[in-house]
Amino acid sequence: MSIVVTGATGQLGRLVIDELLTRVPAESVAAVVRDKAKAADLAERDVDLRIADYSRPETLAGVFEAGDRVLLISGSEVGQRVRQHSAVIDAAKAAGVAQLAYTGVLGGPEADFDLAAEHRETERLILASGLPYTFLRNGWYSENYTANLAPVLAHGAVVANAGEGRVASASRADYAAAAAAVLTGEGHLGRAYELSGDVAWSFTEYAAEVARLTGKEIVYRAVPAETHLAILTGAGVPRPFAEILVDVDRAIERGALARGDGDLARLIGRPTTPIAETIGAAIGAAATEAA
**pLDDT on residue 69:** 98
281 in the same domain as 158: yes
Q: Is residue 220 a contact partner of residue 204, using CB atoms and an 8 Å limit?
A: yes
| φ and ψ of 104, to 5 deg | -95, -140
Is residue 176 domain-resident? no
Checking if the pLDDT of 148 tops 90, the result is: no
Task: Please state the domain count of the chain.
Answer: 2
Judge whether residue 157 has pLDDT over 90: yes
- The answer as to whether 183 is a domain residue is no
pLDDT of residue 74: 92
Question: How far, in whole angstroms, is CA 107 from its chain's centroid?
Answer: 14
CATH of the domain at 211: 3.90.25.10
In this structure, are 28 and 166 located in the same domain? no
Residues 6+ apart with CB under 8 A from 199: 168, 260, 272, 274, 275
Same domain flag for 162 and 285: yes
Same domain, 20 and 132: yes
Q: Are residues 102 and 158 in the same domain?
A: no
User: In angstroms, rounded to a whole number, what is the distance separating the alpha carbons of residues 12 and 33?
Assistant: 13
Q: Note down the domain range covering 92.
A: 3-138
Task: Tell me whether residue 92 is in a domain.
Answer: yes
Beta strands in 95-229 (DSSP E): 99-105, 133-138, 157-160, 166-167, 191-195, 201-202, 219-222
Give the model confidence (pLDDT) of 250-282 as tens digits: 999 999 999 988 999 999 999 999 999 999 999
> Does residue 159 lie within any of the structural domains?
yes
- Does a structural domain hold residue 190? no
Q: Is 155 among the domain residues?
A: yes
Specify the pLDDT at position 285: 86
Same domain, 129 and 39: yes
CATH number of the domain encompassing residue 20: 3.40.50.720
Which pTM does this prediction carry? Answer: 0.95
Does residue 263 lie in a domain region?
no
